Each structure stands twice: as structure tokens, then as C-alpha cells.
């Protein structure tokens, strides 16, 4: 793997790069189509950002619900146009903050949420009908969505007006991240329960954000990111269809979440290729007839794995270039990382600067004036075609190996990601892949960035708050609601109505997650890959 511009250079995915491109690949115009039309290579809307900018959705959450609420209001006051909630590890893993396994992790990488009272505090003063909210949550997505809906109902919001997303992508957790509770079969049941519930009750809500981001963060190439993510998406559609859902009833609300890495033009081509692939899969494989079912709508986030603790101000530049690649690639919403995130949680100052990065791209650079401005570039069109071809090869291999769940169970996908991560790291160590400030133009010492820390006392405070909440609730009503949830899940019925009833009855996130463990079992990490 060598930097572009050197003899025999290639992209991060190992695609050879010619010194110059004299013509576009044959037939590229047909494969592009028009903006807003099948196969959506050029974007999912006819006028893209001329009609509406992407949602500037800065990912935030830390400590207590009260602290995170203050950060959301701060970002909204500075021009953020959508909320994006980060949850701490206990919340992601279905553990209440007073659980012994939560010790030392409460509020550290996101906000601690365990009860309806916590969700009230998190969203205090924010009208949920008026804001789009993304919640990056997977194993406990059904519970957090139920808490959000419960607060919205108490606000008097019309559920059909609520807009936002839950990530709800468990397969990528097994492949690349590890924050799961139940085995794949039970996880797919809960995931598709949410898809069904949202199709009926929350028509403007995205019930899943099928995520390549964490696959890329684990070390995959751009090609692998698209291939494994689309393989997961195929599995979700197949599972939903097996439950009798109509493809055009749920597919228009499926959304995706991509990483934006450093290889600028490869990233732009990646987004274009992914749209084209998904459109064909939905039309040809799943026989969708609604064009909205074929549109790959996506959120993008700049690559956390590219941020360096050395010379952290360099990250400001990295993030700006990555953000521009997402915009030129046609994202529907975007998060830009704080420059200090290789060191700690972002400070208010770095979070605001990250938001300003998006605003400068939107209002000063002029790239929003026309749709797909890099279309027709000989190099970009060649990359788009080659990424598409290589992704198809991976999808064929996954099918031959028995599908994505089988490939995760056997460790095939994890092994492919790990191999790419290893080779990339070795290339950095050998100096073949430059990282400015680390293996090129490095400096000794230098000014230290101010870092943000979560108070270690938070775990004890959250445990006391949760004890007080349990003391206030109607214990019998809570117990009955959990019994009803258990019954519905054992009967293979949609669990979402019972989860909503349980949170309204005072059940905590940990208690509902314990029902999942009881009914579906607990997944242990695979070894021997």
C-alpha cells in the first residue's frame, strides 16, 4: 500500500492508480443515470443541496443526561440542525448504572440512560416534533426508541411527525464492534420488530442505519466497508420478507451510515458505487417497485481512526477534507469529529469548531450549487466502476459461503477485516503510508491540547438516582409489564408495544435487557478466528 503520487501507486483499497486518465470507462453515462433517478449514482434527489442542505448532526453525549442536554442546546444554538445521541457502554450493553459490570464506564463514552426519568432530562426543553434525532444504539435500540416515543407522547407530539434514526444494526456488532447482548437469531428478531413497528407507527423514522462506519474503523478497506454493509442489509431485508412484510412498506425507511476516510476521491467514488449497487439489489433481487425503496440514503461521519494524538491540530484539516468528500459524495446528514477526540471527549470549543467546518463547506465553498460536481471525472468514474466490481465479488463470495450470518459465525468477515487492518498498520510502520505528524514531519513535544474528562463520581450519583426512581414507581405495574413482554417475545410476537408499555410502567433499561437475555440467551464472543 503506497501513497498516491508514487510510482506504482494504489488506493487504500488496493485499486491501482494510473499516472493519468485519458478517457472515462466505456458506458459510464448509462451506469450513472440522472440525479434522483435509478440507479441513483449521482444522488438520491434531483436537485440535491440546491433544494436542501444535508442535516448537520453533531454526535454528542457524555456523563449524565443533564450534562448532555446542555451540550445539545449549546450545539443547536450554534446552528446544528439535528440531534445525534451517543450512549455510554453500560447503556449500549443493556446494563443499568448500578450494575457491577458498569463500574468505571458510566458516562465515559456517551450519556448514561436507564429510565424514563433520564430520557425526560436528556430531552428537556427540546420539542421532539421540531427536531430530527439520531440515536447511535444497537442491542438496546428498541428500549431507547421506546423511551424517546414515551417522552414524545407526554409532550403531545404526533408520532407520525417524529423524525430520526436508531442505528439498530446488530450484524455489524458481531463482525466489527462487539457491543451485543443476544445471539444473531434473537438480535435479528428485535431488529425486525423495530422495522415493523416504525413502518406502522413512525412513518418518518428510520428504523435502522445499516452501518459501514464501524467496519471501517475496525480496519477494513473502502471496498470491504461497502461489501460487508450491503451483505448485512441484504440479510435484514430477507429476514423482514420472511416475516411477511411487504418490501415497499419498509424499504423506503432503511438508511445507511458510512465512514469518510482520508483517500478523498476513493471515498467520493465509494458513495456513488454504493448507491448504484443498492438500487440494483432492491429492484432486481427483491423486486421493489417503489423508487424510494431503491434509494440509498446515508449519514456520514469523519473517520475517528484517522485522528492522531500527535499534533492534534492537524485533525482539523483531516476532518475538513473528509467532510468535503462526504458532501461531494452526496450524504444526507453529516457529523464532523472534534480535533481532540484522539485524546478524550471533545470540548465545547472543539465541538463548535467541528460544526463550523460543516457550515463553511455549506455556505462558503460553492460545492452545493450543482449536483454531483465530480461526475464525468475520468478517475472518479473509473474508481466508481472498480469499487462496484470488487464489491460484487465479495457479495458473491458471501452468498457462496452461506450468507452473512454464516460468514460471521465462521469468522470469515472478521478475518478479512483484521487482515486489512494488519496490512494497513504495517504500511504505516514502514512509512509506505504517510501519517503527517506521526511517521512524517513528526515533532518532539509540542503544545498539549486541553482535554475533557468525566467526573469519576458519576457512577455513584447515577446509582443513587436510579434507586430513587425505582422507589417512586409502582413495583407491581412494572413487574406485570415485564411479564407481558416476556410472554410476547416467547410467542414470537412483535415486542415493541410491550417494551413501550414497560418503560412507561417504570421498567429500566437493564431490566428489559434481562428479559432479552432470558428469552434469547446471551452471546459470547467468538474465538479462533
- Do 312 and 237 fall within a single domain? yes
Strand order across the 208-211 sheet: 55-56, 333-335, 298-302, 254-260, 208-211
Residue 115 lies in a domain: no
Would you state the pLDDT for residue 312?
Answer: 95
The overall average pLDDT reported for the chain is 94
The pLDDT tens digits of the residues spanning 260-285 come to 999 999 999 999 999 999 999 999 99
Percentage of the chain exceeding pLDDT 90: 88
Long-range CB pairs of 523-527 (<8 Å, 24+ gap) are: 523/174, 523/180, 523/181, 523/182, 523/183, 523/184, 523/187, 525/178, 526/174, 526/408, 526/409, 526/411, 526/414
Reduced to 3 DSSP states, what percent helix, strand and coil does the chain have, rounded to the nearest 5?
Answer: 50, 10, 40
Residue 118 has pLDDT above 90, yes or no: yes
14 domain-assigned:
no
Query: pLDDT tens-digit profile of 6-22?
Result: 434 899 999 999 999 99
Residue 2: per-residue pLDDT: 46
Question: Can you tell me the mean pLDDT for 118-147?
Answer: 96
pLDDT of 316 over the 50 cut: yes
Host domain of residue 376? 28-58+135-429
| pLDDT value of position 5 | 38
Predicted confidence at residue 3, as pLDDT, reads 47
Instruction: Say whether both 289 and 198 belong to one domain.
Output: yes
pLDDT single digits (tens) 437-483: 999 999 986 556 666 677 778 889 999 999 999 999 999 999 999 99
Instruction: Say if residue 263 is in the same domain as residue 385.
Output: yes
Band (pLDDT 50/70/90 cuts) for residue 40 is very high
Residue 528 has pLDDT above 50, yes or no: no
Kindly state whether residue 453 falls inside one of the protein's structural domains: no
Instruction: Judge whether residue 135 has pLDDT over 80.
Output: yes
Model confidence pLDDT, tens digit, residues 350-370 = 999 999 999 999 999 999 999
Q: Report the C-alpha gap between 351 and 323 in whole angstroms.
A: 14
Same structural domain, 50 and 186: yes
495 in the same domain as 423: no
Number of domains in the chain: 2
Say whether both 407 and 268 belong to one domain.
yes
Same domain, 411 and 487: no
Please check whether residue 143 lies inside any domain of the structure.
Answer: yes
pLDDT at 211 over 70: yes
* pLDDT score recorded for residue 241: 97
Q: Is residue 284 part of a domain?
A: yes
Same domain, 194 and 246: yes
Q: Would 102 be classed as within a structural domain?
A: no
Examine the pLDDT at 529 and tell me if it is beyond 90.
Answer: no
Q: 174 and 310 share a domain?
A: yes
CATH assignment of the domain containing 280: 3.20.20.240
127: pLDDT strictly greater than 70: yes
* Domain assignment present for 6: no
Residues 202 and 283 in one domain: yes
pLDDT at 207: 96
Mean pLDDT of 233-246: 96
Same domain, 414 and 481: no
> Is residue 176 over pLDDT 70?
yes
Which grid coordinates belong to 482?
415485564
Same domain, 146 and 215: yes
pLDDT digits (tens, 9 = 90+) for 219-231: 999 999 999 999 9
Amino acid at each position: 500500500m503506497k501513497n498516491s503520487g508514487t510510482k506504482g501507486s494504489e488506493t487504500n483499497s488496493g485499486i491501482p492508480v494510473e499516472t493519468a486518465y485519458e478517457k472515462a470507462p466505456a458506458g459510464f453515462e448509462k451506469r450513472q443515470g440522472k440525479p434522483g433517478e435509478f440507479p441513483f449514482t449521482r444522488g438520491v434527489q434531483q436537485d440535491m443541496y440546491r433544494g436542501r442542505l444535508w442535516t448537520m448532526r453533531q454526535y454528542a453525549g457524555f456523563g449524565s443526561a443533564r450534562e448532555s442536554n446542555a451540550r445539545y442546546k449549546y450545539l443547536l444554538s450554534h446552528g446544528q440542525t439535528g440531534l445525534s445521541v451517543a450512549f455510554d457502554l453500560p447503556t449500549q450493553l443493556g446494563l443499568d448504572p448500578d450494575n457491577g459490570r458498569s463500574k468505571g464506564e458510566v458516562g465515559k463514552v456517551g450519556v448514561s440512560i436507564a429510565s424514563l426519568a433520564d430520557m425526560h432530562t436528556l430531552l428537556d426543553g427540546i420539542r421532539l416534533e421540531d427536531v430530527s434525532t439520531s440515536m447511535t444504539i444497537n442491542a438496546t435500540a428498541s428500549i431507547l426508541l421506546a423511551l424517546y416515543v414515551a417522552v414524545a407522547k407526554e409532550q403531545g407530539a404526533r408520532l407520525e411527525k417524529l423524525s430520526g434514526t436508531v442505528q439498530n444494526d446488530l450484524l455489524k456488532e458481531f463482525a466489527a464492534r462487539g457491543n451485543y447482548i443476544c445471539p444473531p437469531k434473537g438480535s435479528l428478531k428485535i431488529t425486525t420488530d423495530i422495522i415493523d413497528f416504525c413502518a406502522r407507527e413512525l412513518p418518518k423514522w428510520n428504523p435502522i442505519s445499516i452501518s459501514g462506519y464501524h467496519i471501517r474503523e475496525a480496519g477494513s478497506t473502502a471496498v470491504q466497508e461497502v461489501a460487508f454493509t450491503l451483505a448485512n442489509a441484504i440479510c435484514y431485508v430477507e429476514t423482514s420478507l420472511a416475516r411477511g412484510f411487504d418490501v415497499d412498506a419498509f424499504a423506503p425507511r432503511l438508511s445507511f451510515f458510512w465512514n469518510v476516510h482520508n483517500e478523498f476521491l476513493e471515498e467520493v467514488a465509494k458513495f456513488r458505487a454504493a448507491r448504484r449497487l443498492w438500487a440494483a439489489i432492491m429492484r432486481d433481487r427483491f423486486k421493489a417497485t417503489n423508487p424510494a425503496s431503491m434509494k440509498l440514503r446515508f449519514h456520514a461521519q469523519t473517520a475517528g481512526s484517522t485522528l492522531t494524538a500527535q499534533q492534534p491540530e492537524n485533525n482539523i484539516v483531516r476532518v475538513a477534507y473528509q467532510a468535503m468528500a462526504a458532501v461531494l459524495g452526496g450524504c444526507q446528514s453529516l457529523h464532523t469529529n472534534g480535533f481532540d477526540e484522539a485524546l478524550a471527549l471533545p470540548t465545547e470549543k472543539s465541538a463548535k469548531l467541528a460544526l463550523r467546518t460543516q457550515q463553511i463547506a455549506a455556505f462558503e465553498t460553492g460545492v452545493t450549487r450543482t449536483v454531483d460536481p465530480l461526475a464525468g471525472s475520468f478517475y472518479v468514474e473509473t474508481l466508481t466502476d472498480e469499487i462496484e466490481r470488487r464489491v460484487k465479488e465479495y457479495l458473491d463470495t458471501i452468498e457462496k459461503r452461506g450468507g452473512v450470518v454464516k460468514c460471521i459465525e465462521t469468522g470469515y468477515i472478521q478475518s478479512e477485516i483484521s487482515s486489512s487492518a494488519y496490512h494497513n498498520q504495517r504500511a504505516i510502520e514502514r512509512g509506505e503510508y504517510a501519517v503527517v505528524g506521526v511517521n512524517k514531519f513528526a515533532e518532539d513535544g509540542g503544545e498539549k491540547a486541553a482535554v475533557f474528562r468525566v467526573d469519576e463520581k458519576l457512577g455513584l450519583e447515577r446509582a443513587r438516582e436510579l434507586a430513587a426512581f425505582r422507589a417512586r414507581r409502582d413495583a407491581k405495574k412494572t413487574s406485570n409489564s415485564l411479564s407481558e413482554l416476556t410472554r410476547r417475545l416467547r410467542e414470537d410476537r412483535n415486542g415493541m408495544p410491550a417494551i413501550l408499555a414497560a418503560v412507561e410502567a417504570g421498567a429500566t433499561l437493564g431490566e428489559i435487557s434481562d428479559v432479552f437475555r432470558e428469552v434469547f440467551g446471551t452471546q459470547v464472543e467468538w474465538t479462533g478466528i
